[in-house]
Structure 1
């Protein structure tokens, strides 16, 4: 039977120092690898980045990525200085240049089997009385606008408060990844943000039960990068790949 390995704080400190020294040697060696730190939301990381990054790594085997996720872009932990932010804040902080990306397009989504089992959700009123999985505004105080089911239905002239006591349940959470997983599991209908769910629709894992959508034309997502790294080749390659994945032309 193997004995448990015990480390004290001093041993761990020495290991951390050794690892840091190793990274420095790699950075300044003849065969130095390039490294970028990218910061985005947990939902963007899981639903956008995860399924696209393999193409970046296959085309750029010499670049390592350090991906940091946060809902609070304005006050990251000390020592975190991302090279790139993907954010909805146009002017994030000094020393960063921002390039506008896409608008939010928001529409209901559910799996094909769920739509077949619940044909009533093919109307807006039917949707209002169905099982709704809602994105809570909790933790999103930095974003000027927040679209949940109440807002989305109000834009389409329906009042969420008119749901009846015997209507299907209403589930509220501030974890968008959880909501999409619940949708994929056939547990209800959620609002899909196009940039996060379009690949799931393309794979026929999700469908749009109604054609109505909301486009936030007054706001965008932004690609913000460190101005002092504007000529860095690794950053330039990541930016070129990212814009191509978004279907956008370089500025």
Structure 2
């Protein structure tokens, strides 16, 4: 018995793509003649396709004034969606067409925080050394649900072997300490003690964002590491600002708005530049909480991957929390 498939309402109700293509061109150039030239068709074909599209949608998409055309409100709404869809289709087609070509490419996936505060400072060197390699960056906090068609060659995060066909290399452990701007510390000198620190504005990474850097640490956990509790009683002077974006918290610290926890690998360059300073001498070290580089095994023998790994591991060896330091020293 043959099972009949129910009509797909999205595909059935979809306007003619040829008509939508003509509409996008006309909206982009605001002129039917220029749209026809861009698509290598006649102006009459453009006009006919747009009339058919307006009839199918039951709305007027353009206000016509001589040779020029202007989008109506409905036209603007439809153009925004249609143009973005065509861009996505074109980019996907380009990726498919480029597959197998000689030019090498690497797709790297990491958190927004690691991309902003670690890779962006170092990656230009790799790009300059290897102009033959195209580097594609993808940032996300949800490593287990990538967009369709996106299969990174390399992940940098706190998960080991997140999926089949990948292998992980441990990089460094967590060293966490409070940081703020030099001005904020100068205006609040008492915050160098644990007791005084509780009087500062504490910029706190909320649970929704901890996957960016270290999912197990916030101010409560950090103080507990030092055998102290945050005083959250009704008469407490405690001031906490919560956000799920470490980039935002770091920027607020740079803007003299409080103290945030700094993961050493993310803030060390800002300390070296003097834009941030450590607050006191207290720190929390979690050697069992590692960050990993995870790579797809089917790319591990390619020249692009080998070049990146050699360069990346040279950079990582400079990190004070690099997990292979003792092994390297023993080998030398």
Fold-level similarity (TM above 0.5): yes
Q: Which residue of 1 aligns with 2:268?
A: 198
Greater helix fraction, Structure 1 or Structure 2 = 2
Note the residue ranges of structure 1 that are not aligned, 5 or more in a row.
none
Q: Which residue of 2 aligns with 1:78?
A: 148
Q: Pick the aligned partner of 1:165 from 206, 216, 235.
A: 235
Q: Structure 1 residues 123, 34: closer, same or farther in 2, change over 3 A?
A: same
Q: Secondary structure at the match of 1:243?
A: helix
Q: Structure 1 residues 128, 33: closer, same or farther in 2, change over 3 A?
A: same
Number of equivalences: 248
Q: Which residue of 1 aligns with 2:25?
A: none
Matched, 1:233 2:303: yes
Matched, 1:129 2:199: yes
Alpha-carbon offset, residue 201 of structure 1: 0.4
CA contact (8 A) 2:212 2:246 kept: no
Matches within 5 A, 1:149-160: 149-160=219-230
Matched, 1:68 2:154: no
What's the CA shift string for 1:48-101, capped at 9, x where partnerless? 111211111111111111111111112222222100000101121110111000
For 1:140 and 1:134, the matched residues in 2 are separated by: 10
What's the TM-score once normalised by structure 2's chain length? 0.67
Matches within 5 A, 1:15-26: none
Matched, 1:96 2:166: yes
Q: Which residue of 2 aligns with 1:108?
A: 178
For 2:225 and 2:81, the matched residues in 1 are separated by: 56
Q: Structure 1 residues 128, 63: closer, same or farther in 2, change over 3 A?
A: same
CA contact (8 A) 1:125 1:158 kept: no
Note the residue ranges of structure 2 that are not aligned, 5 or more in a row.
1-28, 31-69, 319-323
Deviates more, 1:156-165 or 1:70-79: 156-165
Alpha-carbon offset, residue 127 of structure 1: 0.4
Q: Which residue of 2 aligns with 1:219?
A: 289
Q: Structure 1 residues 218, 21: closer, same or farther in 2, change over 3 A?
A: closer
Q: Which residue of 2 aligns with 1:53?
A: 123
Matched, 1:174 2:226: no
CA contact (8 A) 2:232 2:238 kept: no
What's the CA shift string for 1:153-208, capped at 9, x where partnerless? 01101111356635252101110000000000000000000010000001011111
